[in-house]
Structure formats: structure tokens, C-alpha cells
Structure 1
Amino acid sequence: MPWWGTYILISIGLLLIGIILAIWDKIKRKKRIKTLWNKQNTLNRPKGNHIKYRQYFDYLQINNKHYIDDITWNDLDLDRIFTKLNYNFTTVGEEYMYASLRNIPNHTVNELLIKKITNDQKFRERVSFILADLGRSTNNNASRFAFRHKSDEQYNPWIIIVSLLPFLSLFSFYFGISVGIFTVMLAISIVMSLSMRFKSKSELLYDDIFYAVKIIDTASDLLNLKESHLDTKPPNIRSIKFLSYLMLSDDNNETNFALQIINALKMLFMTDYHIYHYALRILRKNQASYAEYYQVVGQYDSSYSVGMYRRTLPYYKLPEIGPLHTEEIYHPLLTHPVANDYTHNRGILLTGSNASGKSTFMKTIALNIVLAQAINTTTSEVFRYQPGHVLTSMNLEDSLSKGDSYFIAEIKSIKRIIRAIEDFPMTYIFIDEILRGTNTKERISSATAILNHINSNKNTTLFAATHDIELTELLKDTFDFYYFREHLTENNDIEFDYTIRKGVTTTSNAIELMRIYDYPEHIYQDAKSTLATLKKLNT
């Protein structure tokens, strides 16, 4: 057999080995996917703070002011909520769910699809297999093709000739074995060098394009399922369909020998360069259609994820529309939460000792409004509300790290709330320890004016917490008052029941906490004595 024949046979053999190993890997993955639902587990979820999910949201927010801002996101610890929710198979699902949690309009889940996935095992497994085949992208930016973007990438037709060099070099064996070997090795070196140079230069966009093509193929497969429960039917991008068969990458499994072999063969003929430019041209022409395909995958994946998340909850309820009312509501991040009932009539002011549950209660209400709007799920037995924009001013650590004093950070945070109640048709406002960064007299005076202003907006629902009992007298005509309390145990310790009650607190625990945490006795006694003196002065 001539040298070139051996060369071709080796190439075919390596390709077959790669295909066989890829099929075997897919069979093993399918077996594992079938166990995920009952085990409430995820498939190869990457870990670490370096993983980002907000690229799609960043594109959306440019032309949209209706979303959860960074202050509210951090106050409510929504990064942890997202982690709890994230049973997605794909980067698309993760980014779509992130945008949903940010309460971006038109990015809610499909309840019929969630029910179908939850109740129909065969349908769920089929959806899981399709989504798992798409998997995750290491670059996480394939959503860029759903939006206008600039690119200087130009196709060089001369690369076609360069790509054929390994094949054309085989004819050099007619001039002798030595000449043939030298020519083939030279051709391979040139092509591989150019392939690696191209991959290095365009790696990020390269990965995004290939993932985008797979997204289109995945969305088509999902829409072809019976009872998909999605009304959308994006226009076919036929000219890109066949590329999905060449979309092989080792991003999801660096130890997959089969994919490494196939990718090496693709580099040998610069296949990716040609597919890359062809796909880029098609995506530019079909931006709107691609956006629809992206959302199809996002809805399916996030619907699966929401269905799984609901299985992890002790109980949940779908939200209803009406005046704000909830029963047995609990905080979704707490291991042993205490449930509460609440009916809203007008703005409320919460009082209570340190660590009694004021902040947790406000976060519980705020989180459930966010979850109701994002995933049609609440951690309660009953939850009625009017959809609206959620803003908080509770924890300003990020602003402090940027150099602002606490008071300046708080002033800026509350100013954004004052602007928001004028811009949005319905707002939910949550303020914890208003203006704690200034002196008592100015704090009480300013807090009274600010809270009255916010509460006077008929489309605003206000929750505020304070240690300044004086505010209850100043706001008694316009606010309802609720409180949390504690009691001393037989061991002379402080115990909380975290249950909300109507009225104003009559207790405090700051001085007793110093005793419990073993402060020097004279500090504790001096504090009690000074407190008694202050109370006499105020009577």
C-alpha cells in the first residue's frame, strides 16, 4: 500500500475511535441524567466565584430600567438564591434564569412547561438529554449574537488553498519517499501553526459562535417535542443547520479523548476557520431569530430547574394577584425558618431588639415578591400581591468599600428609592435602620420626613425597621406598627421566637447581650445605670 494510503487509513481509524468513544461517553451520561431528578442533583455544575452568569442580563439592561438593581440584589443575597435555583444543564438556562431573578420583563417561566416536566418522566428525560448535549460554554457569552455588535473579522479566501495543503502534499510522494515525507510534514506544520494562531487570536468569539450554532440546533430539537407548551416558532435558519454536526468541542470534558482526536483532525484542515466565518455571517443576518432560539432554550432549561427547585422546598405556593397578603411565609435560605402570616394595609414600621427578626422578615417578603415575578413560586402557603418593582436599602457594605461614608452611602441609596417611586407604576420599598449613620435628633427628623414622603405615594408599599421608638409616635397616623420580641430563659439567656406581632416593642437587649457575651462586669453595670438615668431625663 502506498504511503498516502496508509496516511488516509490512520486518519480514518483515529476518526472511528473518536466516534466510538464519544458514543460511549454519551451513553454513560444518559444513565447519570436519569438519576438526577430523584437525587435532586445537577450535572457537572462548575464551582467557584469566577463563574459569571450576567452577560445576557447586561445586554438586556442597556435598554431596560425595570430590573433588580445591584444594591437590592446584594441586600437580598440573591447570588445564594440563584445558586439554590441553579439546576440548569446549559449556560443559556443559567443566564436566562439570572435575568429572570433580576425581574427583567418577559423573562418569566412557563408554568405549563414546568408541570409537564415535573409530571411526565419520559418528557423530562428527553428534555434533559437534549439540554445536556448542549451543555455549558466556558466563555458564557453566546448571547451576544442576539444583540447588535461590531466585529472586524474578515474571511480570507486564500485560506481554502492553505487548508488543502495536507491533502495536496500527498502527491509529492511521486517524486520520492523522502520528498513526500518532508512535504507532508511541512504542510502539516504550516496548517497546524495557522490553526493554532487563529484559535489563539479568536478563541473567545470562536467558542461563542460554535456554542451559538449548537443553541439553534438544541432549540429546534426542543420545539419538535410533542406538547412543548411554547407558542414561539422562530424562523428556520436552514443554512446553519448542517454545522451542528461539526460542533464538537472539548469544553465540557477536557479528558474526553474522542473529542480531542476529532478536534485535532479539524485543526489539520483548518475546518474551524471556515465554519467560524460562515456561522458568524449567518448569525449577523439572523439576529432576531437567534434571540428567539436563545429564549426557547432558556425557558426549557429554567423550567426544568424551577421544577427541581420546588422539590427541594418543604412547601411552596404559586402566587395570586390581589392586595398583599401571605400565610406561613418563610425565608428560602434559612435551614430552620420560622413562618409568619402578614396582611398589608398601609406602610409598616417594624421595631424590636437586635437579632429579633426584623431584617429577616423584610427580606422574606421582598424575596418572595422577586421569586413570584421571576419563577412563579413563593415559599409560603398563601401569597397574594400586585406585581411591582422591588428596592431595598439594608446593607451598604459595597458602597462603603467604594469609599463613601456610611451616611453618604445611605443618603445615595435612599435617593434612588425616592426617584424610583416616581418612575415605576408599583414599588415595594424595604428600608432597614434608616439613617443609622448620623446623630439621633437629625436621624429621627430626617427619617420622619423621608418615610412620610415615600409612604404618601399611593402605588408604594413600604416596609421600614428602626430602633428609634420615637418614630412610632411621629408616624402613628400614617403607619401600622409591628414588632418582634425576646424573653429571658431559665438559664438567664436571651431567646427569640421570630414571630411578628402587631404593636410596638417594649423591650431591648443591647445591654443584656454585653452580659451574655462576657463583657467586663463594670461595663455592663455602668451601661444599665446610664440607661436608667436617661429614662428619668425623658420622663
Structure 2
Amino acid sequence: MKPKKLKEDEVLQKAENTYENRKKHYDIFLKKQQSTINFISTLRLIIFLAGLGFSIYFIFHKQYYLSSVIFLASVIIFIILVLKHGKIILNKNLTAALYDVNKTSIKRIKGQWKEFLDNGEDFKNPEHSYSEDLDIFGNNSLFQWLNTASTAMGREKLKELLINPDLNSDNTIERQQAVKELVSKISFRQRLNGEGNLIPKNKQNVQELLSWSAQKNDLVDKIYFKLALIIMPILTCSSIIYYLIKPSIGYALPLLFIAFNIIILKLGEKIRNDVLETAFYYKNSIKSYERMIRLIEKHKYKAQLLKNLHKKLVCSEGVKASEAISKLVNINNKISDRKNLFSIILNVLFLWDYNLIVGLEKWKRKYGGDLVNWLEVVGEFETLVSLSGIYYDNPDWCMPTFSKAMEIKAKSLAHPLLPDSRVSNNVVIGSRANILLITGSNMSGKSTFLRTIGVNLILAYAGAPVCAGEFSCSLMNIYTCMRIGDNLEKSISSFYAEILRIKMIVSAVKEGKPIFFLLDEIFKGTNSVDRHLGAETLINRLSEENSLGLVSTHDLELGSLEKKNEKVKNYHFLEHYKDNEIFFDYKLREGISTTRNAIYLMKMAGIQFDE
């Protein structure tokens, strides 16, 4: 075991060094960018004050032409610096996000991933066939360790992949190939992750955004609306120009048309705000999506799945997704300016808000239906990036192969979430026996071993590498019965809840599905006679069907099943004692357990028994 542990440490150290070097690079870059931002801020202030000062100075000296030139030049330079300043701030935010991506990657390698805030708690479902028992979501979960997706769609796609695996070997192999290709694209992976992290977490309601993009505004089709947008700006501007040419006519007419425009704006205030403010609310999110899509578009791919996803980033007219979303970003930029003085004047003269609504409506009708597909592509890429990240960190893990025969064969199989206490085992299910009966004393590793196989199967079906030297399996529906407790809300005891879960497994078997099951201490809520009889009946029933599984038990009498049923084979975990201490090696051995440690553990806890 020591040489293998040394190899794992060396592999992890290599990845950690890469992340450390990248983190240092971004840290240095951040400081340079902050220095540039400070310099431009100071220069901007100097230009403004100098331009204003010199303009006033030359006005006092009656050099109006020179004063105007200096003032205009200073305004132009000031605007250029403002734009430059904003661009560098945006780049600095991305650099900070990339710094955090590497910091997070280092934490994952060091086993500090349990501190990650996104643990997928919102995806927990006690009714699911295995997610609760295998710790797929929640604290210390597979999702918490694995996930690097930043967008709501990315999280959703990863969740679906973990709880509703695609049991099609061709599709899974395609995902494997995509994951392998993305492993070497560390800059691409981190950039995608960093861009997504710039999306405000409180603006991740992607369904609201998609609902908005699908809504049609019939107002823009009304004849009176179209005519008003053409006629009123012409009448208003014409009356103002006419007044400037012939002031003698008075300003009543221009004011009348301006008043009409204000009334029109007031009457449609709710409509304007509902449409424009929703778009503006997602302004930064849309910008991030645009940059993520542009990043995906500019890369070339070899894996077929990545090629297929890349092809989806176009609309029916052949316009690139990034170009289409860029048009929406430009409209949003105009919306963001609607509160300044210049936009207010434009609004009064040209009914500018309504023109923005028309622009948004045209965009939605042209591209709105494609938005969901584009965001799904982003989510798919984020999911694949999450999977490829663990392969980059653990290149000594293997990519599974898939067998048509019902079997699981693994060498050096270990739990992916236990790097410090990881112990590997070889296991074969299917060729000699369909059901492995696992016995062993308390704390010997039975439940962890069951979860080890279950979690690695989930990773395999997702298209990810597994924590093993070799791994081959068939594609099966996974069911578990491990952590069953009372449900007080439904007035269900733990024993009855266990019965319901067993019923779910048996029903799935009756449907002819290929089943893999994990049963941990089944029927523990009843007396020993019923427990033994129930477990024996269930195991015999499951062994006759298209299923594989493991059953852990303290009921050593169940070990006799191996002699009665050739599809059942006994394995056990062992402990040993030294200097009044108990030790476990967590190595799987053939045969039934011959040791017990309950009394010893109780004594260790300070509970004394009369001799």
C-alpha cells in the first residue's frame, strides 16, 4: 500500500504545484491591474481639472477658440480614460475570479473541499433511489467535491447526470472522450469557470430569464403604437427646429408635443418598466453568458460530443450565438443609461424607451427561442469541465470500460472522497457470484465499501474517471437501502420505510431492468428471527433476477446462504488488537467474519461490565 500512496501523493503534488503557480501569476497580474486602475483614476482627475482650468483661463483672456479646443480635447481624453478604466476593471474582476478558481482547486486537492459553500443541498431528495445513501448532495457530498459549475444551468446539468445517468454506453463513451480532451485545456476550463463566477449569485434564476425571452409583447404590433413612434418624434423635433428658426411663433407648440410625449411615457410606465427592468436586471449575467459562449465558440474540438455542442451555438439564420447575445448586451447598455440626463432628453423627444422595447422585442422574436439551447450548451460544457477537473487532479485513476454482461470488475478500487484514509480493494461481481454478502464487526468498513462501489459507479456512468486501477461494469439502475430512518411527518417507522424501499427495488426487478443494489444491515428494525428469514428470502429472490448487488450484515448465520445458493458469495472485513487498541485494515477478504468487537468498543467508551 505504501508505494501506491506515495504515487498518489506525487500525482496530487504535481497538480497542486500547477495551481499554485497559476495562482501566483494571477496574484501578480492583479496587483499590476490595480496599479493601472489607480493610475488611470488619478490621470482622469488631472485631465478633468486641467482641462477645466485651462478652459476657464483662456476664457478670461478672451481666447475662446483655444478654450473650446482644450475643453473638447479634455472631454474626449476623459471619455477614453473612462472606457479604458471600465475595461481594466472588468479584466481585473476576471483575474480575481481566476485567482479564486486556482485557490479553490488547491483546497480540493488538500481535502478542504468540505468548506465549499455550494454543496447541492437544494437537490437533496430522500425519495430518490440512491442519492441520499451515497451522499450525492449535501455536506461532505460528491457534488460538493466535484462541482465547478457556476451557472444555474451548469449545476442543473451536473445534478441530472449524477441522479439520472444515461445508461447508453455509446453516449457515456462520448462523454469520456470529451472529458479526456478537456483535461489538457486547463486555461479554457478555468476561464469558463471564472467567467461564470462573475454572474451574481442572486441573479441565477435562469428560468425567469428564459421565460422573459419567450414572452411576446403584442403592443409593438399595434398600428397606433407604430404610428406614434414615427409621428410623435417627427412632430416634436420639427416644432423645436421651427421654433429655433422662427422664435416669433412662440414655444407653445413644441411644449405641447413634449407634453404629449410625457403623457405617452406616463401611460406606458408600467409596461416600460416591466420589460426594460427585467432585461436590465440580468445585464451582467447576459454579459457573462456572452463571454462564456464566445470562449466556447473560438476553440476547436476533436471529441464528437464537443463538436456537437459547438454546432448548437448558432441560430436558424446561421448567426453565431455570441453575436446574437452581443446585440442583446448592446440593447442592455442603452437601457442602463436611461436614467441619465441625456437619455431622459432622448426619451422626451423620441420616446426612446419604446424604441428600446421594440429593439428587445425584435431580438426576442429572432433569437429568444434559441437562448435556452445556448445556455444548455454552456451548462453541458460546465458539467464536462467539472468531470475533467478530477481527471486532471487524479491522472492515475482509470476510465471505466463497459460490459454487456452483468458484472463489475475492479482492481485497486477505493472511495474518491477519502484521500487520507483511502484503502483499495479488488472486487468481482457477476462472474462467480451475483450477490456479495459482506460481514464484519462494527467500524470494520462494510458500509464504506458499499458506498465505494456505488459512488464509483455514479462517476463511471457520468463519463468520469473512477478511483481505481482498472474498472469494468455493465450499465444498471442503482438502488440502495442503507440510511433508512423514521419519517415523523408521514408517521412511518424506520422498519416500514425500509420495507417501502425494498418494495421499490423488487418492483424494478420485476420490470426486467438491470439492477444494481446496495443493502446495508437490512431489516435491522425487527427481531433476529424475522430479520434473518426476511433477508434470506430477499437475497434468494434477487439472485434469481437480472441483478447484482452487495448486502452487508451482522447476521453471521446468513453466511450459510453461500452453500445453498451458488450466486451468493461471502466476504468480510477484519480487525486486530494491539496494546489494548483496536485496528482495522479495511481489506476485503473471502469468507465469513469470525470476530466481534461490540463489547470491546463499549469498554473503550467507558461502559463497564461485570466479569
Instruction: Check whether TM > 0.5.
Output: yes
Tell me which residue corresponds to 2:583: 495
CA contact (8 A) 2:476 2:514 kept: yes
2:426 to 326, 341, 348: 341
Comparing 267-276 with 396-405, greater Cα deviation is found at 267-276
Aligned mates of 1:416, 1:74 — CA distance in 2:
15
Tell me which residue corresponds to 1:372: 460
Q: CA deviation at 1:195?
A: 6.5
Q: CA deviation at 1:404?
A: 1.0
Aligned mates of 1:135, 1:377 — CA distance in 2:
31
Tell me which residue corresponds to 1:90: 151
Tell me which residue corresponds to 2:299: 225
Comparing 240-249 with 507-516, greater Cα deviation is found at 240-249
Matched, 1:31 2:95: yes
Comparing 462-471 with 117-126, greater Cα deviation is found at 117-126
Matched, 1:47 2:47: no
Match of 2:180, SS state, is: helix
1:205-262 deviation per Cα after TM superposition (whole angstroms, max 9, x unaligned):
9978996898588547624422363332235244885453333899xxxxxxx99955
Matched, 1:484 2:573: yes
1:13-58 deviation per Cα after TM superposition (whole angstroms, max 9, x unaligned):
9998885554223321443465567555399x9936787469xxx9
Tell me which residue corresponds to 1:363: 451
Match of 1:156, SS state, is: helix
CA contact (8 A) 2:101 2:193 kept: no
Tell me which residue corresponds to 1:247: 329
Comparing 313-322 with 133-142, greater Cα deviation is found at 133-142
1:74-120 deviation per Cα after TM superposition (whole angstroms, max 9, x unaligned):
10001111111112243332222211112332775733433333224
Matched, 1:72 2:130: yes
Comparing 89-98 with 443-452, greater Cα deviation is found at 89-98
Comparing 267-276 with 437-446, greater Cα deviation is found at 267-276
1:184/1:413 Cα in 2 relative to 1: closer, same or farther (>3 Å)?
same
Match of 2:438, SS state, is: strand
CA contact (8 A) 2:165 2:461 kept: no
Tell me which residue corresponds to 1:65: none
CA contact (8 A) 2:146 2:387 kept: yes
1:503/1:42 Cα in 2 relative to 1: closer, same or farther (>3 Å)?
closer
Tell me which residue corresponds to 1:81: 142
* Equivalent residues in 2 for 1:346-425, closer than 5 Å: 346=433, 347-397=435-485, 399=487, 402-423=490-511, 425=513
- Which residue identity is paired with 2:307? D
Tell me which residue corresponds to 2:57: none
* Equivalent residues in 2 for 1:189-228, closer than 5 Å: 190=266, 194=270, 198=274, 218-219=292-293, 222-227=296-301
1:188/1:151 Cα in 2 relative to 1: closer, same or farther (>3 Å)?
closer
- Which residue identity is paired with 2:400? P
Tell me which residue corresponds to 2:218: 155
Aligned mates of 1:14, 1:436 — CA distance in 2:
76
Aligned mates of 2:264, 2:82 — CA distance in 1:
20
1:153/1:18 Cα in 2 relative to 1: closer, same or farther (>3 Å)?
farther
Match of 1:476, SS state, is: helix
Aligned mates of 1:409, 1:392 — CA distance in 2:
13
2:398 to 308, 317, 321: 317
Tell me which residue corresponds to 2:66: none
Aligned mates of 1:72, 1:465 — CA distance in 2:
16
Tell me which residue corresponds to 1:304: 385
CA contact (8 A) 2:523 2:535 kept: yes
Comparing 227-236 with 72-81, greater Cα deviation is found at 227-236
Aligned mates of 2:267, 2:233 — CA distance in 1:
8
Comparing 436-445 with 183-192, greater Cα deviation is found at 183-192
CA contact (8 A) 1:130 1:222 kept: no
Q: CA deviation at 1:480?
A: 0.3
Q: Please report the TM-score for the alignment, with normalisation by the length of structure 1.
A: 0.73
Aligned CA-pair RMSD: 4.8
CA contact (8 A) 1:69 1:102 kept: no
Q: CA deviation at 1:156?
A: 2.5
1:247/1:41 Cα in 2 relative to 1: closer, same or farther (>3 Å)?
farther
Match of 2:480, SS state, is: strand
CA contact (8 A) 2:479 2:517 kept: yes
- Which residue identity is paired with 2:559? T
* Equivalent residues in 2 for 1:124-163, closer than 5 Å: 124=189, 138-142=203-207, 154-157=217-220
Aligned mates of 2:528, 2:316 — CA distance in 1:
65
1:298/1:152 Cα in 2 relative to 1: closer, same or farther (>3 Å)?
closer
Aligned mates of 1:144, 1:313 — CA distance in 2:
37
Matched, 1:470 2:557: yes
Aligned mates of 1:310, 1:164 — CA distance in 2:
63
- Which residue identity is paired with 1:114? V
Aligned mates of 2:265, 2:127 — CA distance in 1:
52
Comparing 81-90 with 402-411, greater Cα deviation is found at 81-90
1:319-348 deviation per Cα after TM superposition (whole angstroms, max 9, x unaligned):
022442111111122242211111223111
Larger radius of gyration: 2
Q: Gaps spanning 5+ residues in structure 1: where? A: 1-11, 59-67, 251-257, 530-539
CA contact (8 A) 2:203 2:285 kept: no
Match of 1:328, SS state, is: strand
Aligned mates of 2:480, 2:410 — CA distance in 1:
20
Matched, 1:453 2:541: yes
CA contact (8 A) 1:407 1:435 kept: yes
2:374 to 289, 293, 301: 293
Q: How many residues align?
A: 482
Tell me which residue corresponds to 1:253: none
Comparing 378-387 with 184-193, greater Cα deviation is found at 184-193
1:209/1:476 Cα in 2 relative to 1: closer, same or farther (>3 Å)?
farther
CA contact (8 A) 1:217 1:244 kept: no
Aligned mates of 1:163, 1:473 — CA distance in 2:
90
Comparing 321-330 with 113-122, greater Cα deviation is found at 113-122
CA contact (8 A) 2:97 2:194 kept: yes
Aligned mates of 2:286, 2:485 — CA distance in 1:
38
Tell me which residue corresponds to 2:182: 117
1:119-151 deviation per Cα after TM superposition (whole angstroms, max 9, x unaligned):
245655665677667787734444996xx9998
Q: Which has the higher contact order (CA 8 A, sep 6+)?
A: 1
Q: Gaps spanning 5+ residues in structure 2: where? A: 1-75, 108-114, 244-250
2:315 to 208, 220, 236: 236
1:376/1:184 Cα in 2 relative to 1: closer, same or farther (>3 Å)?
same
- Which residue identity is paired with 2:128? D
Comparing 267-276 with 434-443, greater Cα deviation is found at 267-276
- Which residue identity is paired with 2:556? I
Tell me which residue corresponds to 2:412: 328
Q: CA deviation at 1:436?
A: 0.9
Q: CA deviation at 1:432?
A: 0.5
Match of 1:305, SS state, is: helix
Match of 1:446, SS state, is: helix
Match of 1:247, SS state, is: helix
Tell me which residue corresponds to 1:104: 165
CA contact (8 A) 1:216 1:293 kept: no
CA contact (8 A) 1:326 1:383 kept: yes
CA contact (8 A) 1:431 1:465 kept: yes
Match of 2:301, SS state, is: coil
